[in-house]
Amino acid sequence: MNILVSAQAGAQLGSLLVFVAIARWYVAPWLSARGRAEALIALLWLHVFRYVALQVFAAQHEGFPASTDVALEIAIGDVGGAALAFAAIVLLRQRAFAGILVSWILVIETITDTILNIRGGIEEHLMGAATGVVWMILMFFVPAVVVGIGLIAGQLITRRHEALAADRRNHEPFGAGLPQGHT
């Protein structure tokens, strides 16, 4: 194992552990004080930016040794995840149960995408090959996405009997008590 592989693996593991600590100490308590839909929406926003994976094509041009097939797999999986996350947000803002279903589809899609990306990276010996923006994405954004999808799955499982419209802080509908625009 060369030093670049060790550095990348160590940085990813370090970021993953830091994000788990942040999630446990700060994010989970914050989520528990929110209604089900509001908590899910907050978590889903991270996934909307997964289209950053399109950077893989620029990285190929700069020398990142991913094949076109692996680059397409990365891009399609993450752009698809971004679209699912945004669709789930739109549906949850309308308090539509379909938002829960789309959130579950996102969880399944993200787990599958992560496994396929790991497999492709192993097959093409990409671990340790990342530099520049790709390195930053892999070291910080990917661990955040992994922890984020775990938090979404946790919210979907532990709060499955909770209504979408309730606000846990004051039992008013989501957004009640917020200042309204002038008409």
Per-residue model confidence as pLDDT tens digits over 96-154 = 999 999 999 999 999 999 999 999 999 998 888 888 999 999 999 999 999 999 999 99
pLDDT at 177 over 50: no
pLDDT at 16 over 50: yes
pLDDT score, position 44: 98
More confident residue, 8 or 76: 76
The CA-atom distances, in angstroms, between 44 and each of 64, 97, 114, 156 are 29, 15, 17, 12
pLDDT in tens, 32-59: 999 999 999 999 999 999 999 999 999 9
CB 106 within 8 A of CB 81: yes
Domain ranges of the chain: 35-158
CB 12 within 8 A of CB 147: no
pTM for the model stands at 0.86
In terms of Cβ atoms closer than 10 Å to its own Cβ (0-12, 13-18, 19+), residue 90 is: middle
- Alpha-carbon distance 182 to 133, whole Å? 44
